[in-house]
Each structure stands twice: as C-alpha cells, then as structure tokens.
Amino acid sequence: MRATLAMEMAVAKIRWTNAAACASNLSELELTLGEVAGAVGDAEQSVTYADHSGDAAMRVIMPTIHADALHQAGRRAEAEARFREAEEMQEKRQPEYSLLYSVQGFRYCDLLLTEAERAAWQTCVAANWRSPQTARTHADARAKEDGGERQFAATTLGF
C-alpha cells in the first residue's frame, strides 16, 4: 500500500511529523474500509511518531485519531481516556481554547453522545416497532393513506 510506503520512508528519513500524518491517514482509511483493528494499530503508531516529532499540534491531534479508532472498536473507556489526555494537552498548548475543537472536538462529542443516542434509539424502537410484523402492518396501513411512499420505505427497510 502506498500509504505504508510513504510512512516507512518518513520514518527512515526521521521526518516524524510526516510519519505521524501518514499513520493517521492510513488509520482513517482503514476505519472507512472497516479494518478497525488495523486502524487502532496505525493510530497508536501515529501517536508515537507525533511524540517523537515534538510538534505540539500533532501531539494533540494524533491521540484523538487513536481515541476515535478505539471508540469505533468498542473500547469506550480507553477512547475516553485518550480524549481526556488530548484535551489536557490542548489546554496546556492553548489555554484560551482549552477544549478540543474542529474535527477533534467533533470526534470527542461523538463518543460522549453515544450512550444517549443509543438509549434514544432503543426507546424509539421499543415504542414504535415492537416486532417486524407490527411494523409491517403499520406500514401497510400508512401506505394506503399516502399513495405508496411509506410502503416503498417499509419494503426498503425490510419491515
């Protein structure tokens, strides 16, 4: 893979900032492709490279990429600890902007909202879709009212 080659070249030339960026890009690509274990490993490597670089911004950003990969892997406690660590570094780096912001802040909020979102969906599902048969019957009744759009949606969703 080209990203791996670029990362290896950056490491060989002791360009830690570039190596960290390559490792984080590879991690995000792996997440997109569903290769979560590989994403966690490469994100962790990006943190190591960022630490070697001494670049303060990279030392804040890379742990959030690792935390996001951990979150996607279902390792919530570890992800939360990584985000808190990054936020502490952010506060030291920019006291006037003590919270994570931009994509890093979005990822942290995504983690923090996970439990509430899950609970909300469970409530909706329990209240509205007690069984696939109930949902199908409900969808069929609505389809008669709206000319078929709801039936199409119900069929598409497998109800």
Please report the pLDDT score of residue 68 as a whole number. 98
* pLDDT winner (highest mean) among 8-12, 88-92, 118-122: 88-92
Please report the pLDDT score of residue 76 as a whole number. 96
Query: Topology of domain 2-114, per CATH?
Result: 1.25.40
Tell me the pLDDT tens digit for each residue of 101-124. Answer: 999 999 999 999 999 998 888 888
Give burial (CB, 10 Å; 0-12/13-18/19+) of 142.
middle
Tell me the pLDDT tens digit for each residue of 19-48. Answer: 999 999 999 999 999 999 999 999 999 999
Please report the pLDDT score of residue 99 as a whole number. 96
Contact between residue 20 and residue 58 where contact means Cβ atoms under 8 Å apart: yes
**Domain-by-domain residue ranges, the chain?**
2-114
Position with higher pLDDT, 142 vs 62: 62
Query: Can you give the C-alpha Rg of the chain in angstroms?
Result: 22
Quickly state the pLDDT bin for 146 (edges 50, 70, 90): low
82 has a pLDDT exceeding 60: yes
Percent of the chain with pLDDT over 70: 72
